[in-house]
Structure 1
Amino acid sequence: MQSPLRTRAWIDVRAPALRRNFRRVAEAMGPDPWVLPMVKADAYGLGAPEVVRVLRAEGPAGWGVATVEEGVALRQGGASEPIVVFTPALPADFERVAAHDLEVAVSDPRLLDRLSAVGRACGRPVGVHLEVDTGMGRAGVRPEQLDALAGALRPLRESDGLRWVGMFTHLHSADEAGGPGVGAQLEGLRSAARALEPPPSVRVHAANSAGAFRLGAEAGGARPGIFLYGGRVGPDQPEPEAVVAVRARVVRVVDAAPGATLGYGATHRADGPERWATLAIGYGDGLPRVLGNRGEALIAGRRVPIIGRVSMDVTVVNISGVPGVEAGNAATLVGRDGGEELLLDEVAEAAGTISYEILTGLAPRLPRIWTEAE
């Protein structure tokens, strides 16, 4: 791991905060929680292997990923816990699913026979989570389709090539004030479970991060994502601890004369004498270009405006009135510096997006520096 002292820009990741956010979700789920952290998209950009290492001692039910490739990488990296692939897998991937002992979400029961045949051929039954579409619309079986698909669903109970592990839905608005539709979606999942009567060993799970706090044990199980990594999950929901800080070095400080222009398109012009600091971070590192002339950074515990357009590799801030700034100092684009803090969701709002996109957009060339410091 590179030392921050020799790094142009980097991400600090606080392992204790990640663990505490996990514990808060687990506590919300009651005395016997089933919590499966989502580590898709390289754990929302923070590094799935490190997140698995940090959270393993917390007793997760397994790990959630989006793709077979992500699941294979986790398994090859030493993860022994259950790994669930939540995006519907293609038939061409079934052999890899079985070979690497992955569990899969199934939206089309007509594929169960093919999946079962692969499990038998591999000598290892494939774990299946049946997805029920209660309103998200992008995947799953609608409850009213269950009778018509009864024959296609039979392998869940009868095939020795499958293990029926779970049954779930995805909440579409649990992160909105009041959680509109959450109750109806949960009832839709329950009605599907009543119709199918899965064995007691089948885990029925419904909660994302926001759903965990709205529903608790009613949801059956939780698949938290953004809350673990420090993103808010609703205006009436608990605040997560900040996990991530994005920092960059000052590489140049200059006094700008009145009328001096800055950046592509010369979108900033100095109204009077100004002092500018160039930061070694840009949209090539995942800093949203839209933050030009509207975002902020922290230097020496002070908020300073981003001026001009964000470039691919550098960004400039106005440090007029902030004494002592020089090349080599660290600036903060997300996170805390002294008594000031730029929250992840605050930066996302300034960029006109959501915290998920900020985190997953952070580029690989930013080293992730994991720390046990509080």
Structure 2
Amino acid sequence: MRINYNVYAEVNLDNLVKNLKFIQNINGNNKIIPVIKDDAYAHGIIEVANKFIDNGIQILSVGDINEGILLRKFGVRVPILVFGITPAENIDDLIKNDLTQTVSSFEYANIILEKLSRINKRLKVHIKVDTGMGRVGLIASDENFKIVNNICSNPLIDIQGVYSHFSDAGGEDKNYTVNQYKLFKMFCNNLSKLKLDIKYKHICNSEGSLNYRFDDIEYIRPGLSLYGYSMGKNYEELKPVMSLKAKVVHIKKANKGEYIGYGKTYRVDKESYIATLNIGYGHGYPRYLSNKGRVIVNNEFANIVGSICMDHCMIDITNIINIKLFDDVILIGSSGEKNIDAHEIARYGNTICYEVLCGIRRKVPRVYLEDNKIKYIREGYY
């Protein structure tokens, strides 16, 4: 199929569903709270949310209140958990949009309660417990359990859930992860003694749900794995959902000794053919790939040469035949037996695949595929 954009990302909704089913299958009776924060890891929050709901998902989680409100505007009606701390001025918007707020400290709980008492309204919340991540959350201690008891006993608080987060569930120190689980389980058991009706309890992220089985905690909360990646063991069953493509917009013959790109970082050592692609760091294609990365064109690898520009990058196509203007080039994705995934790109920059995926800018159109056909195109925006 030919797509008339110089740069675009394909989002394979069939692979999204396959990943969801795989995670469901290996986790038995655990129910899933998909993480769709940061525009569903740049895959498109509306489209991904609807596909999950079509496949039986009954609760979603987002990064901040704005993502939650956006989902409501587009007709999403399942419960939505907001991870980020919402300013007091926007608490009323949480209630208007039936969003569930994370409470991660006693100080924030007091701010919420002060606001709720002024407007005389009730707010749904999940309590965040820090069992070893060290980011946000109430430390899982007896003292803080008493604080949670005070929070939950307030009639303005509708406690829906309690959760924590593994810090290294894909790492070798399994004892640390198990100890996090034990702390969380102890905290949940203490809450149960209060006879609170807490529906949602969850601690397993992607690596937790892939590498551990904690069947006594009903919900899991995968993110990255739903989009086809894991940070630890490689799972063949996980299929990358997004590919990134750009078109050839210029082809030139370069003579020996010529420089390519800004800063004269690449010098042609023999007569070569250079193709320019209409993609650069302004689209979210990392500049650290300059003179290091590779792409796939006509089922062959081609090296990036010169410094990646804001809207362009150059590749050496000397040994690749039959290339013409507006041919598609794969920057993330596969063709035949050739493959470039987000892990490979991340390694060049000493970073992680999360950053690569989330870095693809929203100005890049998203082309949604289903049954190998275009289902929908989300135009790029700024």
- Name the TM-score, length of structure 2 as normaliser: 0.90
1:59 paired to 2:56: yes
Give the one of 258, 261, 272 matched to 1:260.
258
Q: Give the aligned CA root-mean-square deviation in angstroms.
A: 2.1
| Aligned equivalents of 2:107, 2:313: Cα separation in 1 | 52
Shift in alpha-carbon separation, 1:83–1:354, aligned structure 2, 3 A: same
Contact map agreement 2:145 2:187 (CA 8 A) in 1: no
Q: Displacement, 1:338?
A: 2.5
Partner of 1:365: 363
Partner of 1:208: 205
Partner of 2:377: none
- Structure 2 unmatched runs, 5+: 373-382
Correspondence 1:1-374 to 2 at 5 A: 5-31=3-29, 33-112=30-109, 115-116=112-113, 125-144=122-141, 146-147=142-143, 150-151=146-147, 153-156=149-152, 158-177=153-172, 179=174, 181-197=176-192, 199-216=196-213, 217-235=215-233, 240-374=238-372
Shift in alpha-carbon separation, 1:152–1:23, aligned structure 2, 3 A: closer
- Which deviates more from structure 2 when the two are superposed, residues 92-101 or residues 300-309? 92-101
- Which deviates more from structure 2 when the two are superposed, residues 182-191 or residues 207-216? 207-216
- Which deviates more from structure 2 when the two are superposed, residues 198-207 or residues 350-359? 198-207
Q: What amino acid is aligned across from residue 146 of structure 2 in structure 1? A: A
Contact map agreement 2:162 2:198 (CA 8 A) in 1: no
Contact map agreement 1:4 1:10 (CA 8 A) in 2: no
Shift in alpha-carbon separation, 1:179–1:303, aligned structure 2, 3 A: farther
| Aligned equivalents of 1:326, 1:163: Cα separation in 2 | 61
| Aligned equivalents of 1:61, 1:77: Cα separation in 2 | 16
Q: What amino acid is aligned across from residue 294 of structure 2 in structure 1? A: E
Q: What amino acid is aligned across from residue 140 of structure 1 in structure 2? A: G
Contact map agreement 1:226 1:232 (CA 8 A) in 2: yes
Number of aligned residues: 369
Partner of 2:375: none
Contact map agreement 1:282 1:315 (CA 8 A) in 2: yes
Q: What amino acid is aligned across from residue 156 of structure 2 in structure 1? A: G
Secondary structure, in 3 states, of the residue corresponding to 2:245? strand
| Aligned equivalents of 2:25, 2:120: Cα separation in 1 | 38
| Aligned equivalents of 2:73, 2:51: Cα separation in 1 | 18
| Aligned equivalents of 1:15, 1:268: Cα separation in 2 | 39
- Name the TM-score, length of structure 1 as normaliser: 0.92
Shift in alpha-carbon separation, 1:184–1:305, aligned structure 2, 3 A: same
Map Cα deviations across residues 66-104 of structure 1 (whole Å, 9 max, x no partner): 111111111122110011011233322211111111111
